[in-house]
Chain A
Amino acid sequence: MEKQISNFIRALRSADVQVSTGEALDAARTVAMIGYDDRGLMKDSLACVLAKSESEKQIHDRLFELYFSSAPAGSAAQSAGAGSESEPGEDPEDAAERLSQLTQQGNEQALATAIERAAEQAGLNDIRFSTQVAYFAQSMVRAMGGEQLQARLLEALQGRTPDADAEAQRLIDVRRTLTMTARERAERAFQIFGAAETEKFRDDVAATKRLSAIEASDMARMKQLVAKVAKRLAVKHSRRRKRTQRGLLDVRRTMRANAGVDGIPFNVIWRQKKKDRPKIIVICDVSGSVALYVRFLLLLLFSMKEAIPDLHAFAFSYRLKSVDDILETMEFDAAIKKILREIGLGSTSYGQAFSDFKMDHENKIDRRTTIIILGDGRSNYGDPRLDLFRDFAGRAKRVIWLNPEGRALWGTGDSVIPRYEPFCAQMSHVATLKDLEKAIDEVLTAYS
């Protein structure tokens, strides 16, 4: 049983549930305490010990169902296992006979046991990718004595008598049943040990893919991924709002704290520096090529409300408009569509957008504000209104410009990026989700 538990814990770890050695020991003690007769009880108990959040509990429950669906094999393997092993020198006749016995009706338990043993011999628990399922199924059949069966089958096929034909047919059926059972078992092992790994691999690929090249079919995955990134950033940045300044006495609070002890400063309280809460204004160019990036940036930022309580979003192509209302009231995908439809028309003009911003929203900028601008800086040869931009940059904490265009293209054609660059604390090229994460991480780090 210990082996079962440790394998189960390995499955959990591969599905991104952090299980420490201490917890593994606790799990073993738990099972020792409650026994493993009652499956439901065991599931609840292990969930209690091993999972540490609601989402981890869900993963745990899913894996538990998969993993312990073959639970009886654990105890049966020792008792019934001895006879079902393939011995190297075994006569093909015997092996074929033994295997066909296994596939008979009523021998399910023995078959399951044999499969379980074969799985162990084939190292099935190391399965990582779905493409390995067939390979492992083959290895399992071989471990059960598939080769002898094959030899016997060939022999029968060469017989060319009605009896031999019937025998061959029977052996083919046996082989098919064995292969199918082994395949099912391998599938399940993949679900337990490999699926999470594959997912992780796909996520890694998606995170480093150019956002503009993301296909519609990958959108769901990207959304989950963005949620993950958002959570990671939020956890990182929603903590530690204060920092003690050593050496600067907070006289008022010290006196208050020590009033009970005659004002003798037993407990000295140092002044704390309150960190600013992040305040972010995003200005997005929603024309053509940039629109896809806008989608991900907004999705990311709006998934992080807990870390960025003060967030305003504006979109423009020609005229600039606040999109907070749309994003807050509507479902995200519908909101983005609506924004693109309403604002995404007309030729881009950064100058016009900035003057709109100055007219209506200038008072939203203060020394705590970070302005994030997402755009390619292609302004159709209009006036870039550098004077306004300089003014914003002077009043805000920082201005960050995220540009989906590669650095080599900056300044070519109607791009006015190099002229804005001196006023930005940072101007970076974002192509992938990783880049976005890095950029937002840097923005928030400036507040901590």
Chain B
Amino acid sequence: MAKDKQTGYEPMTSIEAITAGLDTVGYISVSQISTAVFLAHGLRKPILIEGPAGVGKTDLAASLSKWLNLPLIRLQCYEGLDEGKALYEWKYGKQLLYTQILKEKLNELLGGAETLKDSLSKLSGFEDLFFSPQFLEARPLLHAMQQDRGSVLLIDEIDKSDEAFEAFLLEVLSDYQVTVPEIGTIRAKVPPLVILTSNNVRELGDALKRRCLHLHIGFPDHEREQRIVRARVDGISDTLLNQLVRFVQSVRETDIKKRPSIAETVDWARTLLLLHASTLDEAFVRDTLNVLLKHESDIAAVSPALGKMVREATGPDGRGRLASGYPDMG
């Protein structure tokens, strides 16, 4: 796939290069994620990322833009989001202001006209002046198309938008072009790298899914989570890190409403570090559990077994048992 020299996607030569590159900006990737990014670039298709909240869906886009040194253009979706806010708008105020300023000039120009018909035909010669690219307010989607070196376009929480908007996105995502009636079709100079995220609030339409590569990011395994926390939290000791991740992993296995994700693990690690904890102990965990679990009922559900879970997380053989997936015999 021949690309222009100027695009910012050049570092994405192989899957390993992507993993290594993301690593340099502190995003610990796995092969599935890197593969999806590589394919998205190669096939020029958007990636649709699904998965629980806080596992690094949005962060992938941010890290990619940081690594490739490309602008990150973000479009947060919500109910009622429309073309005007996503694509472009006419700068009405500027148009009005310019008309006012140019009034005299216009009078001068139109002064020569004798009849109404004459002035109208003269005026229609200028009309396009006010509907030209300089009066066009680019919203995220158009903005992403206008980048010279390409960009990372993040369409966040697409499932929160209306179906009408989803349908409207199809043109943008499959052809990387938008149509402005007054100006014409604007084609992307360099197709942006598009990342859509979804929390599955509603089922997305088949048409949209078909245009995207599908990537599911789940909760990380022990090793990856450790690496992520280490990358995100400075100065955490290996002992605490190991114990903390083990504890979080075991919490995820319990039957609770909202399982803690990486974002919560990182927050908790920071909290513990702030409290100068060097190892996990039950009292500490109990006091700071609200950082990890966001529902009162979840805290209540975990509390009774807390002592045991902490002991297992700090115990010498805990790691092997969790990793090999043996059922907990108590």
Taken together as a complex, chains A and B put the C-alpha atoms of A49 and B93 apart, in Å, by: 45
Taken together as a complex, chains A and B put the C-alpha atoms of A110 and B92 apart, in Å, by: 75
Taken together as a complex, chains A and B put the C-alpha atoms of A34 and B42 apart, in Å, by: 10
The answer to whether A260 and B84 touch across the interface, beta carbons within 8 angstroms, is no
Q: A41-B31, A48-B32, A238-B202 are in contact. Are A33 and B42 (CB under 8 A)?
A: yes
Stretch of A17-25, A69-77, A362-370, A387-395 with 4 or more beta carbons under 8 angstroms from chain B: A17-25
With beta carbons under 8 angstroms apart, the residue of B92, B212, B214 that contacts A260 is: B92
Tell me, rounded to whole Å, the shortest Cβ–Cβ distance linking B50 to chain A: 7
With beta carbons under 8 angstroms apart, the residue of B39, B163, B203, B212 that contacts A45 is: B39
Q: Interface range on chain B: under 10, 10 to 19, 20 to 34, or 35 or more?
A: 20 to 34
> Is A52 part of the binding interface, using a Cβ–Cβ cutoff of 8 Å?
yes
The answer to whether B210 and A52 touch across the interface, beta carbons within 8 angstroms, is yes
Dominant SS among interface residues on chain A = helix
The answer to whether B216 and A41 touch across the interface, beta carbons within 8 angstroms, is no
Taken together as a complex, chains A and B put the C-alpha atoms of A57 and B213 apart, in Å, by: 12
The answer to whether B32 and A26 touch across the interface, beta carbons within 8 angstroms, is no
> Is B300 part of the binding interface, using a Cβ–Cβ cutoff of 8 Å?
no
Residue of B nearest to A235 (CB): B203
Dominant SS among interface residues on chain B = helix
Residues in A neighbouring B31, C-beta threshold 8 A:
40-41, 44
Residue of B nearest to A49 (CB): B213
Q: Which of A170-190 contact B (CB under 8 A)?
A: none
Q: A30-B39, A44-B35 are in contact. Are A22 and B216 (CB under 8 A)?
A: no
The answer to whether A260 and B93 touch across the interface, beta carbons within 8 angstroms, is yes
Taken together as a complex, chains A and B put the C-alpha atoms of A53 and B214 apart, in Å, by: 7
Residue of B nearest to A32 (CB): B42
Q: Which of B69-103 contact A (CB under 8 A)?
A: 84, 92-93, 96
Q: A54-B50, A57-B216 are in contact. Are A45 and B210 (CB under 8 A)?
A: no
The answer to whether A57 and B214 touch across the interface, beta carbons within 8 angstroms, is yes
Residue of A nearest to B214 (CB): A52
Residues in A neighbouring B35, C-beta threshold 8 A:
34, 41, 44-45, 48
> Is A341 part of the binding interface, using a Cβ–Cβ cutoff of 8 Å?
no
Taken together as a complex, chains A and B put the C-alpha atoms of A238 and B202 apart, in Å, by: 8
> Is A240 part of the binding interface, using a Cβ–Cβ cutoff of 8 Å?
yes
Q: Which of B38, B39, B163, B206 lies at the interface centre, i.e. has the most chain A CB atoms within 10 A of its CB?
A: B39
Q: A26-B45, A30-B43, A33-B39 are in contact. Are A240 and B32 (CB under 8 A)?
A: no
Residues in A neighbouring B209, C-beta threshold 8 A:
52-53
Give the top 3 A-B pairs by smallest Cβ distance, nearest first.
A52-B209, A261-B92, A44-B35
